[in-house]
Each structure stands twice: as structure tokens, then as C-alpha cells.
Amino acid sequence: MLTPRSPIALCAGAAHEANRLYCQMLGDFSQPAWETAPVWQRESAIEGVLGVLRGNSPADSHASWLKHKEATGWKYGPVKDPEKKEHPCMVPYEQLPPEQKVKDLIFVGVVRAVADALGLHP
């Protein structure tokens, strides 16, 4: 696991927080703050950062997230339920509603901006 102040963790935390605030704007207050997020959620964000640093687009980022979720037993469900490992975004990127595609765009954009500010280069 990375240290909390490592550049990768900083990128992950910033992207997570940006997405959490976007979700709140949509009326979804289920996302915990980065500091209190469960380990699986932090690890997922860190994997997402590594993918973006390798050049993932928003669609690539979602595909990678989906593959990781499937590998860890998650499946489609009408509402996000970590206990049941169900999530409504367990569909191909093309099938996501526009507001969910924006989450991938925000994640990628924030990671790139923070990575650039920290001097990280793929």
C-alpha cells in the first residue's frame, strides 16, 4: 500500500474527492470522504490512477474499473450495495448514462492535472 502522501495516493484522493462532490451534486451522498473510504475503494482509485498514468481515456478507465470489479465478484445491481457487491455502473461504457460518463471524465481530468502539478509523467 502507498503512503498517504505519495504522489499516486494524492492523485487518487483528489480524483475521489472530485467525484464524491460531483455525486453529491447529483443527490448521491453515499460516497465517503477519501480519509474514511474503505480500503477496497481506495485501492480501486489507486488502480484507476495507475491506468490514467499509462494513458487511459475515460472509456478505458471505466473498462479497467469494470474488469477489476468483475474479478473481485461484483455484478450489476440497480443500486450500489458493497455488501452484495452490486453496482448500477457494471455495464459497458457505451451503456452508461451521461452523468455517469462524466464521473470517468472528471476522474481522468483530475488525475492528469494533479499528476502534472506534482511532476509525474507517464
Amino acid 80: pLDDT = 87
Amino acid 120: pLDDT = 87
Which residues of the chain, if any, have pLDDT below 50? none
Do 50 and 120 form a contact (C-beta atoms < 8 A)?
Answer: no
Amino acid 58: pLDDT = 96
Do 32 and 40 form a contact (C-beta atoms < 8 A)?
Answer: no
State pTM to two decimals.
Answer: 0.88
